[in-house]
Every structure is written in structure tokens, then in C-alpha cells.
């Protein structure tokens, strides 16, 4: 048994006994990379990932092509990282084998609070639903502030059409904790709503998430399955 073998065994044993809370972010990435990078110190590679992307969330959500730009990350390693990120996202969403169905806007708000739990960057999601409130797809649209330039209206409309959505719900978070929409939020929401409407798709709601709270920008008076 070599030096790295002993270190890896100790790391795995520590994780098994103590759980993830006692590990720093780079240690968790180091441990993950054990399963894609044999016989090499993965601690340095884990630090490089965090330095390149900034935080764990960005590492786990990065495209395979971007991950491969980091020294020491092969395509196998990149696929493993993305797989873990996708599994984590689906766990947070609470997805099951059957499709989720929302009956009220509060159902969606509670779902989104869970989706954004632990996220410190500003992320923009779109929930694509059919007209009875069944979730078809959740898509991360962009990172950064909510505006039509960042989102590219045509890309949002194309994604909704591709999913055959009857209506969509947009969401973005305010990590600072304020759920009040900005002027930019309002203008972009109006532009997107009009563009979607031209294609026969309803923007059912736009949520702003801040911690365990949320606000809405469109009209939450109707139940989702009543939207046509």
C-alpha cells in the first residue's frame, strides 16, 4: 500500500464515521475525485477546481467542457462531477419517478425555496409545465441578475417550445435577502411574458426567492391547473 492509498483509506473512513460536516469543500471534492483519478494526489486538483469556478455549487453545475479546462480533470472526472451535481439538484427538488403536479402557487413557492436552499449565487430557473400544473422540466437559464440581456429572450422561448410547455414559471433569487423586485426585474418580466405569449405560452408567475421567503410578480390568484 502506497502513501496515497493510506491517505485515501483514512479519508473514506473519516467520512464514513463523521459525515460530511467535518470536511471542508476542497476535501469533499478531493474525496469525490478518488473515484475518477487513481494513484494521484487529488487535493491539489480539488483546490484548482475551486479556484477556477469559485465555489462548490459552480463546480458541480459547470459543463463538462469547462471542467476539462482545469488541469488534472479528464473527461471521466468531469462526467463524475456533473453526475453528482445533477443527482444533488434532483435530490433538492425532491423529484420522484412520477412527475410533480402543483395545485397552487404556494406549492410552487415552497418547491422553489427548497430548490434554492444553500445557493449563494444569483440563479435564474424556469419551470416548464403543462396546463394542468404538471412539471415537465426544470431548466437553469442563467447565473447573474435577472434581465433580458442576460437571458436572451429567444433562448427562453425556444426552451419552452422545445419542452412543449403550456405555461412557465420563472424564478430567481436575491441572496442578500430582499424579495422586492427591482425595476430591472419588472422590465425583463414584461418583455419575456410578451415574447412567450406570442408563441402561445403563458408566463404563469415569476418568483423571487430569498432564504425561506418568496414574493411573486405576476398574478397568484389562480390555481395553476386553471391557467390556459
What's the CATH number where 138 sits? 3.40.140.10
C-alpha cell at position 190 = 414584461
Same domain, 108 and 73: no
Query: 119 near 103, Cβ under 8 Å?
Result: no
Q: Domain ends where: 34, 67, 92? A: 92
Query: Quick one: pLDDT at residue 95?
Result: 52
Q: Are 131 and 227 in contact (CB under 8 A)?
A: yes
Dist. CA 94–CA 67, nearest whole Å: 26
Q: What pLDDT digit, counting tens, does each position of 44-93 carry? A: 999 999 999 988 888 988 889 999 999 999 999 999 999 998 887 766 65
Residues 142, 197, single domain; the answer is yes
Co-location of 123 and 208 in the same domain: yes
Please state the domain count of the chain: 2
Phi, psi of 128 (to 5 degrees): -105, 125
Residues 150 and 179 reside in one and the same domain? yes
Tell whether 120 and 83 lie within a shared domain: no
Residue 41, phi-psi category: left (phi > 0), alpha (psi -120 to 50), beta (remainder): beta
* Residues 212 and 172 grouped into a single domain: yes
**Cα 34 from Cα 88, distance rounded (Å):** 19
Domain with residue 42: its CATH number is: 1.10.150.20
Q: Are residues 119 and 61 part of one domain? A: no
Distance CA 64, CA 66 (A): 5
Q: Tell which of 29, 57, 92 closes a domain.
A: 92
Distance CA 82, CA 3 (A): 29
Q: Which residues of the chain have pLDDT under 50?
A: 1, 96-98, 149, 228
- Residue 66: give the domain boundaries: 3-92
- Both 111 and 193 in one domain: the answer is yes
pLDDT score recorded for residue 1: 45
Quick one: DSSP state of residue 15?
A: H
- Longest Cα–Cα distance in the chain: 65
Q: Are residues 209 and 118 in the same domain?
A: yes
What pLDDT shows up at residue 99? Answer: 62
pTM confidence score: 0.59
CB contact set of 116 (below 8 Å; sequence gap of 6+): 123, 171, 173, 209
Q: What is the 3-state secondary structure (H, E, C) of 183-204?
A: HHHHHHHHHHHHHHHHCCCEEE
Query: Would you mind telling me the total number of residues written for the chain in this entry?
Result: 228
Amino acid at each position: 500500500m502506497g502513501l496515497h492509498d493510506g491517505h485515501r483509506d483514512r479519508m473514506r473512513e473519516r467520512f464514513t464515521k463523521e459525515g460530511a460536516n467535518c470536511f471542508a469543500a476542497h476535501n469533499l471534492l478531493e474525496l469525490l475525485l478518488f473515484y475518477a483519478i487513481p494513484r494521484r494526489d487529488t487535493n491539489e486538483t480539488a483546490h484548482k477546481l475551486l479556484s477556477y469556478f469559485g465555489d462548490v455549487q459552480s463546480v458541480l453545475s459547470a459543463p463538462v467542457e469547462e471542467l476539462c479546462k482545469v488541469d488534472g480533470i479528464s473527461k471521466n472526472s468531469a462526467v463524475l462531477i456533473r453526475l453528482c451535481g445533477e443527482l444533488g439538484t434532483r435530490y433538492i427538488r425532491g423529484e420522484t419517478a412520477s412527475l410533480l403536479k402543483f395545485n397552487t402557487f404556494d406549492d410552487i413557492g415552497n418547491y422553489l425555496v427548497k430548490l434554492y436552499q444553500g445557493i449563494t449565487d444569483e440563479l435564474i430557473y424556469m419551470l416548464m409545465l403543462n396546463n394542468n400544473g404538471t412539471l415537465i422540466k426544470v431548466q437553469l437559464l442563467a447565473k447573474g441578475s435577472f434581465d433580458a440581456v442576460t437571458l436572451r429572450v429567444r433562448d427562453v422561448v425556444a426552451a419552452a417550445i422545445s419542452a412543449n410547455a403550456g405555461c412557465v414559471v420563472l424564478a430567481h433569487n436575491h441572496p442578500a435577502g430582499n424579495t422586492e423586485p427591482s425595476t430591472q426585474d419588472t422590465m425583463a418580466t414584461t418583455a419575456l411574458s410578451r415574447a412567450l405569449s406570442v408563441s402561445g405560452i403563458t408566463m404563469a408567475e415569476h418568483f423571487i426567492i430569498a432564504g425561506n421567503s418568496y414574493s411573486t410578480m405576476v398574478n397568484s390568484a389562480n390555481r395553476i391547473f386553471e391557467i390556459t
